[in-house]
Amino acid sequence: MAEFVIRVRERRDFDPVRQAASLRPGDVVDIGPDGFDWGALTMTNSDWRIVKCPGLSVDALLDMLAVATDANAKLLLKRAKAFDIENLLLKTEIDKLGQVITFEGAQKHTALLALKLTKQLQITVG
């Protein structure tokens, strides 16, 4: 059974060149089992939300922690995938007051998992 922390806002001082390996909106910060003690900093960070999914396996979310690297194992992105936080299913919940979002039941879990996006790398040469 799973819970996860998701970044919902860009860092105020974000620089895409210097901080390509930083967590971005939609990225999963961490995953834990149901009832995980996230601690005071996580519970009060307005840039993050805790998403509780009772009945959803942690294994269904582990791919969201994978990093993106180049052929030489150089880190390109802190997370290779992100959730589509502009989709109304998530956006509506993120915009509500409160730090915790709950998705209960197989139908909601399926809809949430369908919002996984693989990030596209833009490489410029020259």
Q: What is the pLDDT of residues 48-101, one digit of tens each?
A: 999 999 999 999 999 999 998 888 988 888 899 999 999 999 999 999 878 999
Burial bucket for residue 12 (CB in 10 Å: 0-12, 13-18, 19+): exposed
**Range with the poorest average pLDDT among 14-23, 44-53, 62-71, 114-123:** 14-23
Q: How many C-beta atoms lie closer than 10 Å to residue 96's C-beta?
A: 9
pLDDT, position 89 = 92
Structural element, H or E, at residue 42: helix 40-44
What are the boundaries of each domain within the chain? 2-118
| Phi and psi, residue 66, nearest 5° | -65, 145
Is 94:40 a contact under the CB 8 Å cutoff? Answer: no
State pTM to two decimals: 0.87
pLDDT, position 115 = 95
